[in-house]
Structure 1
Amino acid sequence: MKIGFVSDSLGALSFEEMLDQAVALGVSGVEINTGGWSRAPHLDLPQLRQSPAARRSFLQAFGSRGLEIIALNVNGNPLHPVDRRQSDALYETVRLAADLGITKICTMSGLPEGQEGDRLPNWVVSSWPPEGQVAKEWQFKERLLPYWEKLLDMAPQYGVTQFALELHGGQWAYNVPNFLRLREALGPMIGANLDPSHMFWMGGDPIAAIDALGDAICHVHAKDAGFNEARRGATTNLENGPLGLPSDRAWSYLTLGYGHDPLWWRQFCYRLRMVGYDGWLSIEHEDPLLDPIEGLTKSVALLREIMPVALGGFIQAEC
């Protein structure tokens, strides 16, 4: 496994400063945000699409520091019924991938409206009332499948071989069963980006998710989450207060080790290896209280201590 981080983790730094900090942290690569919900402070998508010189300079900035580009990240809602900017950013990111020689894109399944004519996405998370199930099936058949079939048909001509969909609240494929249903319909170009923090706050078990996903896992975001039990007792996990106020929330995103101890993270990484995952652990710092450089430093140190590095093998002695 290799350690990197999502570039928005250091969104206040310039592009060059962010890469210099990556070197100082001793990580192997950076996952670059290109748009979607991100303002993409480290990448000018239109400029890179238009200018070969800008692309050469961009790639040289990584190469001269011995860093890899882990993936392009365009997390957002490409299936928003009205705002098409999210979808446009995803398509442009696919085209940019060809220009940069990158094969993997991190994004999300998208969440459409609940029926024709609605102007807002509709996240169905309950079995009752029954019209929710009608909306969920309509979304899958009328929006998700047509959108992704078209995108997957286009992507290979731009060299993209993998879409790592983050199992994230507020998306159609927010949990393992929904994701696997989508992957079964669309094929192995659809992979899972497993971020344990989202499983935590939605009440799931990331290690159980590893077992259920198996070789469908093609990317991992390393991010922790913790709970404010006094608040959670009143609000449940379905918290929609501002993310920047952890004292007022049931749960918050935390630096690695602050929500779950190193033993848990050791077991998480070991379980990933058990199902064959030997890829990136891409740290996504969203802790509202810890300084990003401090948070990344602590997260890198934890992962470096506990993650499997070399492939091993048990050799049974002859009796």
Structure 2
Amino acid sequence: MKLGFLTACMPERRLEDIVEWAADRRFEALEVAAWPSLGDRPFTASHLAVEQFGHADADQINELFDNNGLTLSSVAYYDNNLHPDPAERKAINGHVAACIDAAGLLGCPTVGTFIGRDPGKTVADNLREAERTFRPLVERAGERGVKLVIENCVMEGWHPDGYPGNLAYSPELWEWMFSLGLYLNYDPSHLVWMGIDPVAALRPYVDRIPHAQAKDIELFPERRNRYGYPGKAVNRTDPWDTGWWRYRVPGLGDVDWRKVVDALYEGGFDGVLSVEHEDPIWGGAPDKVDTGLDIAHRTLRPLIVA
């Protein structure tokens, strides 16, 4: 197992600078953000221009990583592949395809994205559409030696009432994804607020997890007593603010990382555990982001066999 992080927490920095910083801090891998543009959603970045990516680009990126002793663990583009607007959906699906092509040229083992959801349709209708949407993407990935991994993020901000906006939030849906040839980019933080034991959920599926993310979560149960599971309903100016939990870097929340890492090892996981830094306390400025990643490193490094 190797320890890395997702570069989306550093949107203003060049990939070259991030690679050097990561090597200096003794991280071993990077999950590289490849959004086409920053857009209006937080925690996105454009560190890999996959739209017109060729062999020369791949050689340059691989040389950068090799010279700094790092692994490129995944190409990351987490967006709504079932977007209700047909033109937007087509563009998102097309960009996932470009990420797959770039990963193939790079020799990168995985591409990370979301299933997504059309909030105006039932789960059953969405799953039928997802089967049609992802079949060609899975085939494309297989032809290029790449695994398409889906993060189990709930993406509640995509639904007008705070319900799941990414249909990958439970083991039931993971099994449906696996039947399509998709894999899981496991993140325990989302399971915690959904009321799912992250270790019990993890154990049966380790062989379908080629890549994992490390994000922590801090719960405020007394606030949940007011808002309920979906979160704020009356005064929710920020669609991502449920009011009763917040993400943290590993070590500052409620996830038991000793048990999570132990379960990954017991199940035979030998991929990358990638820190996804969305901590509001240790974010907002480059020096704070650096400190947050340092905290995550100090928490997880002792648990990972060198």
Please report the TM-score for the alignment, with normalisation by the length of structure 2. 0.84
The alignment of Structure 1 onto Structure 2 pairs a total of residues equal to: 279
Matched, 1:197 2:192: no
List per-residue Cα deviations over 1:212-236 (Å, max 9, x = no partner). 3242222210000002334222112
The answer on whether the counterparts of 1:7 and 1:33 sit within 8 Å (CA) in structure 2 is yes
**Identical counterparts, % of pairs:** 28
Unaligned residue ranges in structure 1 (runs of 5+): 114-120, 124-134, 311-319
User: Which amino acid counterpart does residue 178 of structure 2 have in structure 1?
Assistant: R
The answer on whether the counterparts of 1:193 and 1:220 sit within 8 Å (CA) in structure 2 is yes
SS of aligned partner of 2:153: coil
Q: CA deviation at 1:251?
A: 0.5
Tell me the distance in 2 between the aligned counterparts of 1:283 and 1:31: 9
Point out the more displaced range, 151-160 or 202-211: 151-160
Q: State the structure with more CA Rg.
A: 1
Where does 1:286-297 land on structure 2 (aligned, <5 Å)? Answer: 286-290=278-282, 291-297=288-294
Tell me the distance in 1 between the aligned counterparts of 2:45 and 2:150: 19
Unaligned residue ranges in structure 2 (runs of 5+): 155-164, 283-287
2:46 to 24, 41, 56: 41
Q: CA deviation at 1:58?
A: 2.2
List per-residue Cα deviations over 1:77-100 (Å, max 9, x = no partner). 112131223212101111112222
1:157 to 133, 143, 149: 143
User: In the alignment, which residue of structure 2 is the partner of 1:231?
Assistant: 223
List per-residue Cα deviations over 1:112-143 (Å, max 9, x = no partner). x3xxxxxxx348xxxxxxxxxxx2222222x0
The answer on whether the counterparts of 1:10 and 1:293 sit within 8 Å (CA) in structure 2 is no
Runs of 4+ in 1 over 6 A off after TM superposition: none
2:104 to 76, 93, 98: 98
Tell me the distance in 2 between the aligned counterparts of 1:62 and 1:206: 32
List per-residue Cα deviations over 1:222-280 (Å, max 9, x = no partner). 000002334222112323653887xx82110001111137xx21111111112221221
Q: CA deviation at 1:197?
A: 0.9
1:183 to 165, 178, 183: 178
User: Which amino acid counterpart does residue 204 of structure 1 have in structure 2?
Assistant: I
User: In the alignment, which residue of structure 1 is the partner of 2:202?
Assistant: 210
SS of aligned partner of 2:27: coil
The answer on whether the counterparts of 1:226 and 1:260 sit within 8 Å (CA) in structure 2 is yes
The answer on whether the counterparts of 1:14 and 1:41 sit within 8 Å (CA) in structure 2 is no
Tell me the distance in 2 between the aligned counterparts of 1:205 and 1:55: 40
Tell me the distance in 2 between the aligned counterparts of 1:108 and 1:244: 17
Please report the TM-score for the alignment, with normalisation by the length of structure 1. 0.80
Cα separation, partners in 2 of 1:182 and 1:98, compared to 1, 3 Å: closer
User: In the alignment, which residue of structure 2 is the partner of 1:2?
Assistant: 2
User: In the alignment, which residue of structure 1 is the partner of 2:158?
Assistant: none
SS of aligned partner of 1:75: coil
